[in-house]
Amino acid sequence: MTEKKILWYAGVHNRGWILEYYLRNMYNLEYNKQLIDCFFFVNNCQPEDKSIEILKKFRKEHGEEYNSFVIEIKNTDLSFIDDRTTEKRNTKTYNILSEIRNDSLKKCIELNCDYLLNVDTDIIVPPALLKELLSIGYPISASLIYNGYLIDPENPWKYPNVLNKINGKYVHIVNWHTKNPDKTDRNKIIECDATGACCLISKEVCKKTKYCFHLQGEDMGWADNCAKNGFKMAFKPYLYSKHIMSKELLEEFKNFGVE
């Protein structure tokens, strides 16, 4: 199979506490770096945050290994701390994230990349991530992550990043496979109706879809748009990445692929 040109796009907001680990793990992806364009959209970081310095240091050390490496800094008057509350997410976060996600779709088309790789900057991925996502063969493919560490620390698997639409509402896919990714057949593929946070999106999807506000998050608004355009998505439960949702979790999970 001919290797595909990839746009690795990431929005960065107050990620100084984890960004070095994120970049190190993404750098270790088993893929030809000359086929990867890197684009980092940095917005409204607090003065004490070191995200920009960390990105510039990484670019100085490794930027020439990639096809391109761009850091775009865009600060706005709308600056706030995302405390993950429903009110803050519904009134501010989802709208801003929609703008950033839509910018990533446009950049993929502008750079004529075959795929857009969106991996949020608080996610730690396995080295085989990109090759495994490509092997799924769908217009949209995802790595499994859990979003429940802060809501239900004892059962984080209740809130994976893969959902199905049931009676008009997106519902997390919770089954034996999503609860036991390490025990699942590594080649098993499961279709889903919505995903986000760690996914690979084809250029055709980038051309015909967009993100928008949705009460369940901008990814759900995009999923609706994908469905209307006939694009299917899927994930491999075995392809599991770690969602590091806080500084405390970073300390706890440093032994899980975090160097």
Residue pLDDT tens, the chain, 259 long: 578 999 999 999 999 999 999 999 999 999 999 999 999 999 989 999 999 999 999 999 999 999 999 999 988 655 445 554 445 444 445 567 788 899 999 999 999 999 999 999 999 999 999 999 999 999 999 999 999 999 999 999 999 999 999 999 999 999 999 999 999 999 999 999 999 999 999 999 999 999 998 888 889 999 999 999 999 999 999 999 999 999 999 988 876 555 5
Angle, helices 218-228 vs 94-110, to 10°: value is 50
Q: What 3-state class would DSSP assign to 95?
A: helix
169-172 sheet: strands from edge to edge = 169-172, 162-166, 194-195
For residue 74, count other CB atoms closer than 10 A to its CB: 11
Provide the token pair at 82. 């995302």
- Overall domain count for the chain: 1
Has residue 105 been placed in a domain?
Answer: yes
What's the domain range around 168? 6-252
Q: Is residue 187 in some structural domain?
A: yes
Asked if the structure places residue 257 within a domain, the reply is no
| Within-domain flag for 258 | no
Q: What is the dihedral of CA 66, 144, 206, 117, to 10 degrees?
A: 0
CATH number for the domain spanning 238: value is 3.90.550.10
